[in-house]
Structure 1
């Protein structure tokens, strides 16, 4: 059922809402294993020497605290004419951008499958969605010919997220160049969700597209690669002339971020490599474990290789809908995974592989046990 803003229910959030707090073993997450406040305080002497105690809880600037914005700019290296705006996670940035830029009837290209915010928010403001299919028969590898086919003179925005959630698909550097050229030639504006930018395995992280094209907004967050989802801090890099429109809408929503979360976020971004590098190394090991496990199933689990991010999107042979399997995993083993129905592919499951290694192994073993011996007729769960 749609709400007052005509936003459909977010199937992924509905699935996780209660189950997330019931699970003993979490192999559902699209972000790396989380850090603690103590981990952050260890990075910055100021946080240990009274800076937190001296913090004044006043409202912050509409575009965000200068220290955090400067840290993001130093990390992202935006192009000329671009500014940084910090937000309540990248979800707020996406909401503000789509509401500021889209008018009813505008065509918006979105990947399919997609994280719900990328497609549903555009549809809620009256956009006509043009799906860019990432095809399972091709391992979800992005095909730019498919993108070219859905672009038109009426395309207002092209929304992408590479690395991709839930599949882990990614364009390579040459593919990024071709993608930017296609969007720029179309006259559309690019919305680049870079939540997983730093989590890649086959090439260096893709540069922020604002370095190469002007009609571009890019988004980042501490929730995925930084292991700090509870801070609820993200950002948007956008052309300076568009910033007043986003701020105007924000005046009716959140006004600004908390100075406490912006201080902690600034420390995190200033020490980004220290936080990301060990989690990326752990995710690489987790990816290897997951792919090896899938290979040992003799085709029962078909798993496209994730080129980025920390989730895989395997298909389960002979299972038309993994929802019941995911329910059994939680009820019988305390293991949380996400059924593919949350992304329009019910025969698949989203599995996160950046959790602690022991959790991943327990989760995969539980899946193997359920695939080998499903409960008999009438068994609970």
Structure 2
């Protein structure tokens, strides 16, 4: 068990987002991207063709401000697909990152105890830390393939716990909770007077069973966050959302008035069309990701001498270790010379690992894996 305590600090002194620092320029320069945690991007033209959106439809969108919580058609589409059909508990945000920021700003006071995961995406610990929370760390152990240990989680909860902040399926490892473990997880939280902040960015990206149901079906104090950036291949649309208790949404809107005011009506129009026909948009990319996962698995099995891969159960990112290498940054630099982008594990606190994204075009994944094999000395035909 790890407990970290910090004083509240000016928001400008938030910890650097190491992942974003690494990707900031490389993402736009390197042609073989196997770093990303989302599926292959769609173009506007592809969306229009699939969904039957006409130029006239787009011409009729007016660039006036949207409501503070998002337009009603999009909130209804989110509620219909992920919630209980009630749009009054839905807020549309600039990606899931804004939803997390607003929810934490509304919930956290200095000294509050917040349970967070390790390793984890930076927004899922740094915001709470900057707001003055005492972080109680639920470590996912690489020796167990990063499988969530509920006994370890149980020991972190107490009467001072203000919130539990988790991400399943998980970024960067792809681990998740089984259906039985999920029920036990929710039962443990229900016994405590705390909120659950559930980052469900990868909810629909699962391979061996149905997605986990939204926690708000069981927990009134749950805040459920989602996005079009990961499973839907629309990161540039910058549309996310949260479903939360009405009182909490009121406070989140108050904070938002100082940050972003509202979301774009054009983005909301497109997002509404996407979610009304979500199976067609997300389904295509899920099938591609599932096939890519098998390519990734076969590649790792070909070279157990160098690659230790916990097979992802969800999402489209894997977090393999390179055996015998304490810090993979030099390897990542060598891969750049091949035009290949991956994320070194130090961005998540595990320098011997790298994040590999497998949601993109199959040919790009195969080319990237071949380059890794060449650099680390694995089979020359890997992922061929």
Q: TM-score if structure 1 supplies the norm length? A: 0.95
Secondary structure of 2:303's aligned partner = coil
Once residues 10 and 298 of structure 1 are traced to their aligned partners in structure 2, the CA distance between those partners, rounded to angstroms, is: 32
Residue 49 of structure 1 and its aligned partner are, at CA, apart by 5.0
Q: Check whether the contact 2:75–2:90 (CA below 8 A) recurs between aligned residues.
A: yes
Alignment partner, residue 3 of structure 2: none
Q: Structure 1 residues 137 and 249 mapped into 2: Cα distance closer, same or farther (>3 Å)?
A: same
Alignment partner, residue 71 of structure 2: 65
Once residues 155 and 305 of structure 2 are traced to their aligned partners in structure 1, the CA distance between those partners, rounded to angstroms, is: 33
Residue 208 of structure 1 and its aligned partner are, at CA, apart by 0.6
List aligned pairs for 1:8-157, cutoff 5 A.
Answer: 8-45=15-52, 47-48=53-54, 50-78=56-84, 83-157=89-163
- The answer on 1:250 being equivalent to 2:237 is no
Say what the alpha-carbon RMSD is for the aligned residues: 1.4
Residue 79 of structure 1 and its aligned partner are, at CA, apart by 8.2
Structure 1 portions without partners, runs of 5+: 374-381
Q: Check whether the contact 1:81–1:239 (CA below 8 A) recurs between aligned residues.
A: no
Once residues 166 and 173 of structure 1 are traced to their aligned partners in structure 2, the CA distance between those partners, rounded to angstroms, is: 20
Q: Structure 1 residues 171 and 82 mapped into 2: Cα distance closer, same or farther (>3 Å)?
A: farther
Q: Structure 1 residues 9 and 49 mapped into 2: Cα distance closer, same or farther (>3 Å)?
A: closer
Listed one character per residue, the Cα deviations across residues 118-149 of structure 1 (whole Å, up to 9, x for unaligned) are 00000010000001010000000011111101
Listed one character per residue, the Cα deviations across residues 337-379 of structure 1 (whole Å, up to 9, x for unaligned) are 0000000000000001111111111101101111129xxxxxx
Q: Check whether the contact 1:160–1:192 (CA below 8 A) recurs between aligned residues.
A: yes
Q: Check whether the contact 1:80–1:211 (CA below 8 A) recurs between aligned residues.
A: no
Q: Check whether the contact 1:81–1:240 (CA below 8 A) recurs between aligned residues.
A: no
Q: Check whether the contact 2:76–2:87 (CA below 8 A) recurs between aligned residues.
A: no
Q: Check whether the contact 1:144–1:179 (CA below 8 A) recurs between aligned residues.
A: yes
Q: Check whether the contact 1:172–1:203 (CA below 8 A) recurs between aligned residues.
A: no
List aligned pairs for 1:266-305, cutoff 5 A.
Answer: 266-305=272-311
Alignment partner, residue 378 of structure 1: none
Matched positions, count: 370
Alignment partner, residue 376 of structure 1: none
Residue 271 of structure 1 and its aligned partner are, at CA, apart by 1.4
Listed one character per residue, the Cα deviations across residues 30-57 of structure 1 (whole Å, up to 9, x for unaligned) are 0000101011112334x31512111110
Alignment partner, residue 319 of structure 2: 313
Once residues 259 and 80 of structure 1 are traced to their aligned partners in structure 2, the CA distance between those partners, rounded to angstroms, is: 21
List aligned pairs for 1:334-349, cutoff 5 A.
Answer: 334-349=339-354
Q: Check whether the contact 1:216–1:239 (CA below 8 A) recurs between aligned residues.
A: yes
Q: TM-score if structure 2 supplies the norm length? A: 0.94
Residue 111 of structure 1 and its aligned partner are, at CA, apart by 0.7
Once residues 339 and 100 of structure 1 are traced to their aligned partners in structure 2, the CA distance between those partners, rounded to angstroms, is: 33
